[in-house]
Amino acid sequence: VIADIVFDVPVWRAFAYVIPRGMELHRGQRVAAPLRGRARIGMVVDLRYGDETGLQAIARPVDAVPVLSRAALELGRWVAEESLSSWGSTLLALSPPVARRGAPVIAPPAEIGPIAGPPPELWVGTLREARLAEQLRAIDGSALVVASDREGAGRWAERLDAARLDSGVSDASRRDAWFAAARGRARIAVGTRSALLVPLPPPATLVLLDEHDPAHKPPGAPRLHSREVLSRRAALEGSRLLMLSATPSVESWWRAQSAQALRRHERTEGWPDIVTADTRGILRNHPLTLPLTRAIEDATRRGRRAALIVGRRAATLVCSECGSFVRCKECGVPLPFSRGRNSLACRLCTRAEQLPERCPTCGGRRLSPFGWDAERVEAAVRKRFPKLGVSRSDADAQIAIGPPSILKPSGPAALGCVGIVALDSLLGMPDFRGGERGFELLWAAMEAVRAEGRVVVQTLHPDHYAVEAARTRDLASFYEHEIKLRSELGYPPFRRLAVLSVRSRTEGEAHALIADCARAFDGIPGLTVYPAAPRDAASTTRLRWRLMLKGPAELPRLLAPAISPLLERGRRAGNVVEIEMDPVS
């Protein structure tokens, strides 16, 4: 009998091996087998009869039983196809830790037949997490809760008294939890991305927390957003899928709205006031405007905590007279700026423009990169409030200063005041998601503040639609506006993006390789191929290049025939060719 095995290598196909006499294997079981002279761990994806001549033999089973169901193997294949990446890397990244020798044998996961499931539900509103906890306690069936990071997984495991599948606990207990979930001994399991394929007895409820979080698609396998993997899984096995977010991605909002699967769990108490502090025309030598200083005073006088959110310094140019960003005329996204260069090149279409002397909108002469770093903000706050506890590391300080993530641990309605020092560092990101990220921060700030408190937004764009939607507490109006823009400019969910990048040892090779890549996509219908550009615009060497591709929903299937010889060729010559579907940042 022949076993087809996939490995954690950038190769798409499976490798055939002979199963030694007396060894019993199943699909979904891990084995050790020789590959190019090395013993490697692989996953058995198929067993079949065939010609065994010339095939190598499997060395030993790594697990005594399968760790993945056949349905999970198929789901993994779909993930690999959708992300134009390796089936083996995908499956092995989504398997439990390997057992140490002598670990007890545990029964394999049950198989589930395909059933049609309900459309994925999208839960918004401040009470979404409280409702989720109630529902999960009330149902009888199994459940998987996927958090965006270990800290979140830990909080939810405690809250639900659930088994943990993430790397916040030891390998042995993760492995136990995997099989306990598969056999229904642990009714609720909590994990991160690595738990996406854990087998569950039906009927199962799948939950994705903080659906909008880019942490659901970090670099590395599996190279697809957790939202897509769970949506596909739910559809294949008929499970119910709940996705929670204060401010979902535009893609999910659009889909849920079309499927009438949007559920609102609104807060019952009031909302804080939103105050905008217009920083246009103000010399930016101090990060605290008067409204923000007052809000901090009021909050701390009442014994409430304040948080000041400082984003990364904007890598874009903004006019301090009218607040406009310098944008690409073609793509509508702000142009990235780096010091010491005299041109601006669009990240998408690579169009380069001379560094303008005057604002293209109002003719103003004060164009500069905008933003405050946390250190400078801290110094200014200490000077202004010498008697208060100020910290950049302790989220429980009287005044905490940091990135948007410092709002997370507090939970809803815990703070007296949130100040957004420079919203424009998000709105002006050189990416089509700038509006989404800015709105996400505004709404998170509103949820974090008590009804009698205040959110102060310092911005050059007090009339931006994201600010307006937050001020009027109208979630839907933000998405309406954003969806219209996305459809006009051809961004997700209406078109799909992919980034192809190459890396070579010499500039000549790199350039030739990226040119060949671009040629390989010539003539594919429905595809937009943007010109290639050096990956790091600031670097003087040209060893890395990238190009952006845009196409319809079936983009991976359009690219697949052209891309696999390129990946193969890149490997042979010691070069690297990579493709990233649906980039998130």
> Which residues are near Zn ion by CB under 5 A?
319, 321-322, 324, 328, 330-331, 346, 348-349, 351, 359, 361-362, 364
Closer of 76 and 430 to Zn ion (Cβ): 430
Closer of 318 and 567 to Zn ion (Cβ): 318
Closer of 135 and 528 to Zn ion (Cβ): 528
Closer of 308 and 317 to Zn ion (Cβ): 317
Closer of 405 and 528 to Zn ion (Cβ): 528
Question: Other C-beta atoms within 10 Å of 60: how many?
Answer: 10
Q: What is the C-alpha to C-alpha distance for residues 194 and 211, in angstroms, rounded to an integer?
A: 16
- The SS3 assignment for 418 reads strand
Least gap, CB of 367 to Zn ion (angstroms): 8
Q: What are phi and psi for residue 556, nearest 5 degrees?
A: -60, -35
Q: What is the C-alpha to C-alpha distance for residues 382 and 387, in angstroms, rounded to an integer?
A: 8
- The H or E element that residue 176 is part of is helix 171-182
- The H or E element that residue 142 is part of is strand 142-146
Least gap, CB of 427 to Zn ion (angstroms): 15
Closer of 205 and 324 to Zn ion (Cβ): 324
> DSSP string spanning 46-83?
EEE----TTPPBP-EESSSS-SS-HHHHHHHHHHHHHT
Least gap, CB of 3 to Zn ion (angstroms): 49
Cβ-count burial 140-174 (b if 16+ within 10 Å, e if not): ebbbbbbbbbeebbbbbbeebebbbbbebbeeeeb
Closer of 368 and 487 to Zn ion (Cβ): 368
Adjacency order of strands within the sheet including 273-278: 273-278, 449-459, 415-420, 306-309, 399-402, 390-391
Closer of 406 and 548 to Zn ion (Cβ): 548
Least gap, CB of 267 to Zn ion (angstroms): 38
Least gap, CB of 449 to Zn ion (angstroms): 32
How many CA atoms does the CB half-sphere of 274 hold within 13 Å? 26
Closer of 85 and 320 to Zn ion (Cβ): 320
Q: Closest by alpha carbon to 401, among 306, 302, 297, 276?
A: 306
Least gap, CB of 350 to Zn ion (angstroms): 7
Least gap, CB of 145 to Zn ion (angstroms): 40
Strand pairing partners for 498? 549, 581
Least gap, CB of 434 to Zn ion (angstroms): 14
Residue 277 makes CB contacts below 8 A (sequence gap 6+) with 289, 290, 291, 292, 456, 457, 458, 459
> DSSP string spanning 516-582?
HHHHHTTT-TT-EEPPPEESSTT-S---EEEEEEEE-TTHHHHHHHHHHHHHHHHHHTT-EEEEEES
Q: Does a cis peptide bond (omega within 30 degrees of 0) precede residue 120?
A: no
Query: Would strands 528-529 and 544-551 be described as parallel, antiparallel, or unpaired?
Result: antiparallel
Q: What is the C-alpha to C-alpha distance for residues 394 and 401, in angstroms, rounded to an integer?
A: 9
Closer of 266 and 330 to Zn ion (Cβ): 330
Least gap, CB of 319 to Zn ion (angstroms): 3
Least gap, CB of 335 to Zn ion (angstroms): 8
Least gap, CB of 478 to Zn ion (angstroms): 24
Least gap, CB of 531 to Zn ion (angstroms): 10
> DSSP string spanning 144-161?
EEE-SSHHHHHHHHHHHT
Closer of 121 and 278 to Zn ion (Cβ): 278
579 burial class (0-12, 13-18, 19+ CB within 10 angstroms)?
buried
Closer of 74 and 353 to Zn ion (Cβ): 353
Closer of 33 and 345 to Zn ion (Cβ): 345
Tokens of 522: 């010539």
Least gap, CB of 537 to Zn ion (angstroms): 13
Least gap, CB of 512 to Zn ion (angstroms): 25
Q: Closest by alpha carbon to 13, among 501, 578, 581, 567?
A: 567
Closer of 258 and 343 to Zn ion (Cβ): 343
Q: What is the C-alpha to C-alpha distance for residues 568 and 585, in angstroms, rounded to an integer?
A: 27
DSSP state of 404: G
Q: What is the C-alpha to C-alpha distance for residues 277 and 48, in angstroms, rounded to an integer?
A: 69
Least gap, CB of 318 to Zn ion (angstroms): 9
Question: Other C-beta atoms within 10 Å of 277: how many?
Answer: 20
Tokens of 137: 């306690």
Closer of 390 and 549 to Zn ion (Cβ): 549
